[in-house]
Amino acid sequence: MATVIFKPTEACNARCIYCDVVHKKPRSPATMPLRTLELFFERVNEFLAEKPLEHMEIVWHGGEPLLLGRDYFMKAIHFQRTHCAGTSDRIHHNIQSNLTLFSKEYADIFRSLGVRSLGTSYDPMPGVRGLGSKRDTNAYNRKFLDAIALAEEEGFNWGLIYVVTKLSLPRPLEIFHFLSNLSRKGAFTFNPVLLYGNDERKIGHLRITPEEYASFLGEIFPVWWRDREYFCQIDPFHTLTQTLLDDRRALMCADSGTCARSHLNVSSDGGISQCGRAADWGLLDYGSIFDKSFSRVFADPQKELLLERNTILPQTDCSGCRFWDICHGGCPLDSWSATGSFFHKSEWCLAKKSFIEKYFEPTVGAAAGATEHLQTQQPCAPVDKHSDTELLRSAEHSDTASLHDARHPDTACLQGAKQSDTVRPHGAKHSDTARPHVPDHRESVDYTWINPIGGLGDTLMISGVLKLVSEKDPSRKFNLVARTKYGPLLEGHPAIERIGHPRPGARFLSTNYWDEEDYGRPGSRAFQLLARMFGLEPPIEERLYVPGEFSVDPVLLRAIPWKRRNILFCQGSDSPRKQMPIEKWEKLAGLPAGRKIGIVQAGNRNDVYIRGTYSLLGLTSPRHLISMLDRFDAVVTGDNFIMHAAHLRGVPAVVLWGPTDHRVYGYSGHIHHQAEIKCGQPGGCIGPGAGDVYRTRCPEGVAHCMNTFDPEIIFNSIADLLKR
């Protein structure tokens, strides 16, 4: 996902004391002309058309974007419809606003743009944020509080950033509870105030040191930790816990080390720079949308400079730091601000390190083994120029940030992250960073355990994802919890060290991708979600994999009455809701009569037999079946294991979809028949929160969506496949 911080206006109705936009020299024009806006959407379309696997997130930013007015947003919607007709399903809008102008009218506009969550900032203290040149805090607060109430009424999630300043330091818990009481279901994030250039003269009294910031967080953390399940998502605690304890990498842009490959900022004059902060500070200027495509911008040599940090810092400032893989030296702009060079670490690294060592680890460490798996990493090679699969999604870091994109799995430099039990004293330095640390797996390493959840089809996806992980970093390994169904397919996998039973306290990674936040979001695919769970950055090639050789049982092969063309039917599924009724299958099986087409049925022993086919029901193991798939000219199946297996073996398939969506699970190259769902569950009855119905029959009877297929039409698709 590429992220564009889109600043069509620098105008703002507020005058927040620490805001960069307030203090810098204004751009001209302050608001983006419509022609430029139109060109922006042309550029978005151009980029996405060039990269068919790519998505783009547009974060409306400012200034205050709601000052643009309804008509401006309607124009934007119009331009997107006009210029991005073929790519708009890969464009995702988010907004960062002070919300003081939010209204029902804007709620409708945001829904039209597909915005589900609003990002905002807030500080109730007098004189920090406020409306107008006099910085009227009370008026600001009232409008803001009305706005969040309205946003909740209108069904939006929202999250806010609280900027920690000197004024905040005496009252961390008060602020924490204040924001918790205010936010209820919203999320909030603490960020330190960032001062740059002339800020020191104007607002130097707000400055805090990294140690002070760490102490501020440290006062709050034990309270959050004790009752964390009862608080909304509060960062950096939530994300750090995910990263350090759950082994789910979720790094902000500043910490990812890869912002160069994911972020752009487009300003009101069409100027392009690295990010909002870079634009406000006049750094990392990549030109203008008038003369450059986004693809060219992503290839800009200045971006290479940023990526080069990943090579230089582990040998210099960050040498031996056990937090490298969750920090990567922090935001390069901090480095520039302090030293005039990008090749130093951020001073805020110290805050992170101090917070983890003084507060996080002592609080959670004994219980969880906390961060002992963090260890010095081998410096990462500079990453190749960006490609479709390398664009990462991350977030801005500062008050001008968006919460929507505030977390993502990091990949670039985490490939070498070994989840080892090897304990390294806090702060211990490594002198041999040039040589990778190779742990002794038999004695000291307990890798993260994969707790496989889902069907065999999911297993093929997991296996494919793991193969990609392994190709990126052969040293990255996992253990697999022994389960009867999965072992035979995953045995010998290069990313799996051991299949067995985890010791108490082992780290787990479950594969329930359907519980991910993005599941069900348009364009979101199961494979990509799984990939992200394993630290790969989508979009990524959807390649399935089964370790070992494919070998077919010759007795079975000889038994099958092969004809000139042969089709495999697979009617079964763990969910009866995904099965086309047997009568339709039988009608379909009768259609090729006299055409020298053989039909074989495969599946479980208890699947219903389709009359007119040669039955292999119960005679094949999953591996056998995968092995013999390439003997068939085509496969006809529902959404089940065979559908994935056909993709794995490159066998043409006609796939019948009802309650699940081919756009989420299906593969290009297959012919998909998606039933129209006319029951009360247009999104399909199977999905998150509906696990209890998965193995039940559809209550609609003859109106079951899988009963709406016409066998003649399915057969036409088979005929098309056979002609290919």
Partner 1 sequence: MNFPGIVSPYNEDLLRGLSGHSVAVRVQDPADAAAAAACARQSGSRLVCVLIESDSPLSEIELPEDSRGIPLALAVPSAGRFRSFAGRLKHLRQFNLRVYLSCSRPENILSLRILSSVGIHGCAVIERGVKHWEEIADLMTYAMLERAHHASIEPFTFIADNYDPFSHIDWAFFYFDDPKSFLHLDIEGRVALSREDLAKERFVARNLCEIADPDQFPPIQEWLRRRREYFVGLHPCASCAGWKLCLGKYETSRGPECSAFFIEMIEVARRFKALRARNGEAQIWQP
Options 185, 296, 485, 697; binder of partner 1; rule CB under 8 A? 185
Residue with tokens 């664009």: 391
Q: Report the distance separating Cα 270 and Cα 28, nearest Å.
A: 10
CA-CA distances (angstroms) from residue 292 to 56, 57, 58, 561?
Answer: 17, 19, 18, 61
Judged by phi (left if over 0) then psi (alpha if -120 to 50, else beta), residue 19 lies in beta
**Cβ neighbour number for residue 404 with a 10 Å cutoff:** 23
Q: Which of 522, 486, 142, 561 is nearest to 478 (CA)?
A: 486
Rounded-to-integer distance, Cα 651 and Cα 629, Å: 7
182 touches partner 1 by CB under 8 A: yes
Residue pair 84/44 in contact by the 8 Å Cβ criterion: yes
Stretch that binds partner 1, among 143-151, 570-578, 589-597, 633-641 (CB under 8 A): 143-151
**Shortest separation between residue 156's beta carbon and partner 1, angstroms:** 15
The footprint of partner 1 on this chain (CB under 8 A) covers a number of residues equal to 24
Q: Choose, by CB under 8 A, the member of 53, 77, 125, 169 that binds partner 1.
A: 125
Compute the distance between CA of residue 271 and CA of residue 16 in angstroms, rounded to an integer.
24
Residue 181 is a binding residue for partner 1 (CB under 8 A): yes
Smallest gap, in angstroms, from Cβ of residue 171 to partner 1? Answer: 8
Q: Which of 46, 136, 146, 516 binds partner 1 (CB under 8 A)?
A: 146
Using CB under 8 A as the binding rule, whether residue 169 contacts partner 1 is answered as: no
| Tokens, residue 652 | 């043409």
Q: Which stretch binds partner 1 (CB under 8 A): 139-147, 267-275, 312-320, 693-701?
A: 139-147
Using the rule CB under 8 A, which residue among 25, 134, 170, 229 binds partner 1? Answer: 229
Question: Rounded to the nearest whole angstrom, what is the least distance from the CB of residue 125 to partner 1 in the complex?
Answer: 7
**Minimum distance from CB of 157 to partner 1 (Å)?**
11
174 binds partner 1 (CB under 8 A): yes
**Per rule CB under 8 A, is residue 722 in the interface with partner 1?**
no
Per CB under 8 A, the list member of 70, 111, 177, 678 interacting with partner 1 is 177
d(CA 54, CA 87): 10
Sequence-ordered list of residues with C-beta below 8 angstroms from that of 504, at least 6 positions apart, any chain: none
Site string for partner 1, 81-120 (x = CB under 8 A): ----------------------------------------
Identify which of residues 228 and 472 has a Cβ nearer to partner 1 in the complex.
Answer: 228
Piece of the chain touching partner 1 by CB under 8 A; list 40-48, 121-129, 265-273, 551-559: 121-129
Answer yes or no whether residue 175 interacts with partner 1 by CB under 8 A: yes
Q: In what order do the strands lie in the sheet with 449-451?
A: 496-500, 478-481, 449-451, 508-510
Q: Are 119 and 95 in contact (CB under 8 A)?
A: yes
Token reading at 655: 């796939």
**Interface with partner 1 (CB under 8 A), residue from 111, 142, 296, 595:** 142
Using the rule CB under 8 A, is 138 a contact of partner 1? yes
178 near partner 1, judged by CB under 8 A: yes
Q: Which of these segments, 138-146, 279-287, 469-477, 550-558, binds partner 1 (CB under 8 A)? A: 138-146
Q: Which stretch binds partner 1 (CB under 8 A): 9-17, 227-235, 250-258, 535-543?
A: 227-235
- Please, what is the minimum distance in Å from the beta carbon of residue 114 to partner 1? 24
430 sits in which H/E element: none
CB of 689 to partner 1, least distance (A): 17
User: Would you put residue 503 in left (φ > 0), alpha (ψ -120 to 50) or beta?
Assistant: beta
The one-letter amino acid code at 335 reads: S
Residue closer to partner 1, measured from CB, 175 or 643: 175
Cβ atoms within 10 Å of 443's Cβ, excluding its own:
7
* Smallest distance, partner 1 to C-beta of residue 145, A: 5
Choosing from 114, 124, 382, 711, the residue that interacts with partner 1 (CB under 8 A) is 124
Give yes or no for residue 145 binding partner 1 (CB under 8 A): yes
Q: Closest CB to partner 1 among 54 and 123?
A: 123
Cβ atoms of 242 and 250 within 8 Å: the answer is yes
CA 620, 625, 629: angle at the middle one, nearest 5?
A: 145
The residue among 161 and 597 lying less far from partner 1, judged by its C-beta, is 161
Site for partner 1 in 489-528 (CB under 8 A): none
Q: Which of 11, 232, 552, 560 binds partner 1 (CB under 8 A)?
A: 232
- At 619 the three-state DSSP class reads coil
Q: Is 153 in the site for partner 1 (CB under 8 A)?
A: no
Comparison of 30 and 182: residue with beta carbon closer to partner 1? 182
CB 90 within 8 A of CB 56: yes
Contacts of 526 (CB under 8 A, 6+ apart): 458, 461, 513, 514, 519, 664, 665
The identity of residue 281, as a single letter, is: W
Please answer whether residues 649 and 633 qualify as being in contact, where contact means their C-beta atoms are separated by less than 8 angstroms: no
CB of 614 to partner 1, least distance (A): 54
CA-to-CA distance for 617 and 532, rounded, in angstroms? 36
The least distance separating partner 1 from the CB of residue 137, rounded to whole angstroms, comes to: 9
Place of tokens 């009305």: 146
Tell me the backbone φ, ψ of residue 678, rounded to 5 degrees: -110, 0
Backbone angles phi, psi at 459, to 5 degrees: -60, -40
Q: Which is nearer to partner 1, 139 or 679 (by Cβ)? A: 139
| Nearest-approach distance from CB 214 to partner 1, in angstroms | 22
Of the pair 148, 544, the CB lying nearest partner 1 is at 148
Closest CA to 94 of 501, 564, 415, 518: 518
Please, which residue, 180 or 470, has the CB nearer to partner 1?
Answer: 180
Please, which residue, 206 or 275, has the CB nearer to partner 1? Answer: 206
Q: Both ends of the chain: CA-CA distance in Å?
A: 34
Residue from 41, 190, 231, 513 binding partner 1 (CB under 8 A):
231
Rg (CA), the chain: 28
- Catalog residues that contact partner 1 under the rule CB under 8 A: 124-126, 138, 141-142, 145-146, 149, 171, 173-175, 177-178, 180-182, 184-185, 229-232
